[in-house]
Structure formats: structure tokens, C-alpha cells
Amino acid sequence: DAGVIQSPRHEVTEMGQEVTLRCKPISGHDYLFWYRQTMMRGLELLIYFNNNVPIDDSGMPEDRFSAKMPNASFSTLKIQPSEPRDSAVYFCASSLISGAYEQYFGPGTRLTVT
């Protein structure tokens, strides 16, 4: 298995632009998680899905952020409009079972908003 796949690996964009991050979870995993990592705040859970349905989005910072999972093998995290404070590494992770089991992380997307 190729593991969790994320694209792009790096994204540089100007403030105000729309940014779309993509994730392909491990086949057969029912749960998908989006995290954001910064030096100041560490690793923060943004949202997670179970069987393509969003379960908890309380970590999404504001309405500029949205996430979708149209099918079991694909999810997107969109920021519109982007701001410099959104600069971070965004990770996608998947797991067979929520919470009490191992999550497998992708390599991350490093986002820089200028």
C-alpha cells in the first residue's frame, strides 16, 4: 500500500487566493482526519470524517476553511480566501477505527501564504 497520499507537497500562494489541498487515504480505512501543524500551536485536529461524512469540524478555524470527502478515496481541504496566518503544514491521516486506534499520516502539504 502506498500509504496516505497528499498533494501538492508544497504550495506558495498570495493572500486572498483560493487554496485546495488533496488527500487520498489508505484503502479500506473508514476514518480520515485533517490536521494543521505550526510551531506555535503544534498539531491541531481540524476536522474528521467517518465513511465520507464529517463528524466533528469544531477544529476548523473559521468559515474560510471547508473540507469535503466526495468518496472513500478522496478528500479536499479548501481555504478561501487564504491569509498569511494560514501558513502551516497540513496533514491528512486515516485510520481503520476512530480514536482508539493508530492513525497513519501522509507526508503533509507545506502551505506558505505571502
Partner 1 sequence: GESVGLHLPTLSVQEGDNSIINCAYSNSASDYFIWYKQESGKGPQFIIDIRSNMDKRQGQRVTVLLNKTVKHLSLQIAATQPGDSAVYFCAVYHTHNQAGTALIFGKGTTLSVSS
Q: Which residues are near partner 1 by CB under 8 A? A: 4, 42-43, 45, 48, 55-56, 58, 91, 93, 98-108
Task: Choose between 73 and 98: whose C-beta lies nearer to partner 1.
Answer: 98
Task: Choose between 82 and 94: whose C-beta lies nearer to partner 1.
Answer: 94
Minimum separation from the CB atom of position 15 to partner 1 (A): 25
C-alpha cell at position 78: 479548501
Give the C-alpha separation, 53 to 49, whole Å: 5
Minimum separation from the CB atom of position 81 to partner 1 (A): 27
Give the C-alpha separation, 56 to 98, whole Å: 12
Task: Choose between 63 and 101: whose C-beta lies nearer to partner 1.
Answer: 101
Q: Distance of CA 97 to CAs 14, 31, 88, Å? A: 38, 6, 27
Minimum separation from the CB atom of position 9 to partner 1 (A): 9
Give the C-alpha separation, 12 to 57, whole Å: 25
